[in-house]
Structure 1
Amino acid sequence: MIFPTQAAAEPAGGLAGWIADVMAALGGPGAGLVVALENLFPPIPSELVLPLAGFAASQGSMNLVGAILWTTLGSLVGAVVLYYLGALLGRDRTRAIAAKLPLVKTGDIDKAEAWFARHGVKAVFAGRMVPIVRSFISLPAGVERMSMPVFLAFTALGSLVWNTALVLAGYLLGRSWWIVEGYVGVFQKVVIVAAVVAVVWFVAARLRRGRRVRT
């Protein structure tokens, strides 16, 4: 089966073409495989993979429910790999690395750990629906050794919500599935800008505090 893109009815190749080929060859399991890779390698965007899976379901290449379940399973597999990477890194190594960063103090690390202890479950659930964050939220969960059943449950639930929305959008839009990527891409840019603003604010505030202490 051939998948269209915004520019042409039949993509000549590129990332979308590769994803289409994997899904065409493997069906639902192929969609799950690509989503697992997307979790591990954020440059593979879910806003491209999931609507494509929905479009494939609309064309009869896979079942709609199967597309949602396979992609959610792929999300879960990718998240578990990152969880264990975080667990392997460990709390002590993470604190040691963070303590060596410029302008970062031990108190900042303590506050981050306390925040995750209070809000980790909500962060894991909501983080699965935020571009970029959806990949990296599993790392602190592993570092802090969040209960695996709890991690699996809320990762699966958050992934199910996100995947269902994007797969269903691709299914309903049909050959216009690429519209989803544009809207989610805007959301991703907002997330990136917000992260940059937060970092700039943190650095500026820490520098101002340092100058006050010296004077």
Structure 2
Amino acid sequence: MESITGPVVDIIGSVGEVGVGGLIALETILPPIPSEVILPFAGFAAADGRLNAPLAWVCATIGSLLGAAVLYWVGYALSYERLYQLAGKRWFLLFGQKDLDRGFRFFDKHGSVVVLVGRFIPFIRSVVSVPAGMDQMPLPRFLALTALGSGIWNAAFIALGFRLQENYDVVEQYVSPVSRGVVAVLLLVLVWLVVRRVRQRRAVEAGEEPAHFHPRYQPRTDDDEAPEPASARD
């Protein structure tokens, strides 16, 4: 953690509030960079007179929006249809097409809550932007929810650093186990998904479970008649 804290302190000390925003944008895209180090130190620097606390909060929230927007567009470019096709590949073991269908139906109903609440959960606050883009959540709504959740998160941790001052690193000591716990749970879920996917694949191949096709995306087969060329129709 000291290898991360040092550069964070140097960047904020050199660039100021803009550095806070840049680091938070990077943290949103690359979760291993912890905001529980960046924001409390920004609060400490504000208490020490080196930063303006409200401006640091504004820059941090803008950084959160920029990072989340990048991941949103990654999801938008990937698209549901491409991921659905990928989920049907034999070598793709994370989840199947039926699982993807179920997940996106859930996101269609509860996506706003997921995006908002996800901003308060380490690591999740980064990856939640990708399904929002894939589901094509309206961008104004996505940005508003992100600004609200991230604004509260950023304000809370800057305030803690401001209050604790030179003991700002205590925040990281308490939050870091939570972050590691979330990552451990996600790894367990990943292993469970792979095992479950292998079993589903074997059941489909044995004829015990039918293949799944979503009405939004019906993959083309070799037996389908090729579309008539435009020149022939003319």
Q: Which TM-score band applies after superposition, normalised by the shorter structure?
A: 0.7 to 0.9
| 1:189 CA displacement | 1.7
RMSD: 2.2
- 1:27 and 2:37 correspond: no
Question: 1:72-104 deviations in whole A, cap 9, x for unaligned?
Answer: 111011101111111111121122223332273
| 1:68 CA displacement | 1.4
For 1:211 and 1:64, how far apart are their aligned partners in 2?
A: 57
Question: 1:22-64 deviations in whole A, cap 9, x for unaligned?
Answer: 2122211111011111111222111111111111111111111
For 1:36 and 1:88, how far apart are their aligned partners in 2?
A: 20
- 1:57 and 2:23 correspond: no
The higher radius of gyration belongs to 2
- 1:111 and 2:110 correspond: no
- 1:174 and 2:168 correspond: no
Worse-superposed segment, 92-101 or 25-34: 92-101
Q: CA separation of 1:211/1:97 partners in 2, compared to 1, >3 Å: closer, same or farther?
A: closer
Question: Contact between 2:44 and 2:162, CA under 8 Å: does it hold in 1?
Answer: yes
Q: CA separation of 1:88/1:119 partners in 2, compared to 1, >3 Å: closer, same or farther?
A: same
Question: How many residues are aligned here?
Answer: 204
1:92 is matched with which residue?
A: 81
Partner of 2:79, secondary structure, is helix
Question: Contact between 2:93 and 2:198, CA under 8 Å: does it hold in 1?
Answer: no
- 1:123 and 2:137 correspond: no
| 1:196 CA displacement | 2.8
For 1:81 and 1:108, how far apart are their aligned partners in 2?
A: 25
User: How high is the sequence identity, in percent, across the aligned residues?
Assistant: 40
1:155 is matched with which residue?
A: 146
Unaligned runs of 5+ in 1: 6-10
- 1:15 and 2:8 correspond: no
Which structure features the higher share of helix residues?
1
Q: CA separation of 1:94/1:208 partners in 2, compared to 1, >3 Å: closer, same or farther?
A: closer
TM-score (norm 1): 0.86
- 1:198 and 2:173 correspond: no
Unaligned runs of 5+ in 2: 209-234
